[in-house]
């Protein structure tokens, strides 16, 4: 039987605004988010909405927490630092 990936709006930490912005960049399901990764999704959302001055925790950490089914603050400092490094690399490449 084929597994159905949950819609991003059903994931932990993902509210209506984040779900809408994920949909704008083509991410509809958890599988889509896993394929792209939290850091890339975050960077693409920031590029599309540069006016958003939201703390990292609201987007970047929330996306990773959604993938891990954890509250964003429970992903740990090592993961947060790794995500920040990924974002820095992505930003430097664009």
**Other beta carbons less than 10 A from residue 42's beta carbon:** 23
pLDDT at 9: 95
All domains in the chain, ordered by first residue:
8-93 (1.10.150.20)
φ/ψ of residue 84, rounded to 5 = -60, -40
Residue 5 to residues 9, 11, 14, 30, 55, Cα–Cα distance (Å): 12, 10, 15, 6, 28
Q: Encode the chain (94 residues) as per-residue pLDDT tens digits.
A: 667 789 999 999 999 999 999 999 999 999 999 999 999 999 999 989 888 777 777 799 999 999 999 999 999 999 999 999 999 998 788 7
pLDDT at 1: 64
pLDDT at 79: 97
In angstroms, the CA 40 to CA 54 distance is 16
């Amino acid at each position: 039987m084929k597994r159905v990936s949950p819609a991003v709006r059903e994931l932990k930490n993902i509210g209506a605004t984040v779900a809408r912005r994920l949909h704008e960049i083509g991410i509809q399901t958890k599988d889509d988010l896993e394929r792209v990764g939290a850091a890339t999704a975050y960077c693409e959302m920031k590029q599309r909405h540069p006016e958003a001055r939201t703390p990292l925790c609201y987007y970047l950490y929330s996306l990773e927490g959604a993938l891990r089914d954890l509250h964003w603050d429970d992903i740990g400092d090592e993961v947060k630092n790794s995500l920040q490094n990924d974002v820095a690399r992505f930003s430097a490449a664009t």
